[in-house]
Chains A and B, each alone.
Chain A
Amino acid sequence: GQSLEQPSEVTAVEGAIVQINCTYQTSGFYGLSWYQQHDGGAPTFLSYNALDGLEETGRFSSFLSRSDSYGYLLLQELQMKDSASYFCAVRVYSTLTFGKGTMLLVSP
């Protein structure tokens, strides 16, 4: 089976930088995805890492280390609208297994 660990909650202030970590245990690993979900909304895709290293998309970056079974999502220049839950998900062949999510609270 698969297991993922991420912090349950992270708090930060507007303009700050926050990092959400994800460690995983799985067999047949293909890559690590990140999704954002606002309260009452649907999960939306943010990024995907199949190879080691950093992927940057605007204010968001995602990192993967396959040897450490570890990844993180980095959010820069935080805005109030970034308050949401963030899920890491491992791709194992044809399905995704999601972590339990990290609730990010951004305060003024």
Chain B
Amino acid sequence: DTAVSQTPKYLVTQMGNDKSIKCEQNLGHDTMYWYKQDSKKFLKIMFSYNNKELIINETVPNRFSPKSPDKAHLNLHINSLELGDSAVYFCASSRSSGQGVHEQYFGPGTRLTVT
């Protein structure tokens, strides 16, 4: 019944490693997002993606890349992890970007700790 799911829930890894976070939604939405929430709880959009366009927040390092095998999945790949990447990463989805972007459904989050 889970609307938006993410795996893993916790991820502890060392600097320099490459890791992926998976996201799946069963709401039939066609737009998905990745957010980063830092220790001060600031929720920052990283990517917005549907089958037509990828919108990248210009402040996101190119070590981060979204990959979408189909409409229901949007995975996040992170290369060469750095200490500053430690945060909670949320996946979200919504109806088409023009109509429903204001109402987003969030996954439970992945707490990434880089040591």
Query: Does A67 sit within 8 A of B, measured CB to CB?
Result: no
Are A95 and B90 in touch, CB under 8 angstroms?
A: no
Residues of B within 8 A of A91 (CB): 101-102
B41: contacting residue among A30, A96, A101, CB under 8 A? A101
Q: How far is the CA of A8 from the CA of B41 in the complex (A)?
A: 11
Q: Which residues of chain B are within 8 angstroms of A93 by Cβ–Cβ distance?
A: 97, 101
Q: List 24 A-B contacts (CB under 8 A).
A: A43-B90, A43-B92, A45-B103, A45-B104, A45-B105, A87-B43, A89-B102, A91-B101, A94-B31, A94-B53, A94-B55, A94-B98, A95-B33, A95-B48, A95-B55, A95-B97, A95-B101, A96-B45, A96-B102, A97-B45, A98-B44, A100-B42, A101-B41, A101-B43
Chain B positions near chain A (C-beta within 8 angstroms): 31, 33, 40-45, 48, 53, 55, 90, 92, 97-98, 101-109
Given A45-B104, A95-B33, A98-B43, 20 more A-B residue pairs with CB atoms under 8 Å apart are A41-B109, A43-B43, A43-B92, A43-B106, A44-B106, A48-B103, A87-B43, A89-B102, A93-B97, A94-B31, A95-B45, A95-B55, A96-B101, A96-B102, A96-B104, A97-B45, A98-B42, A98-B45, A100-B40, A100-B42
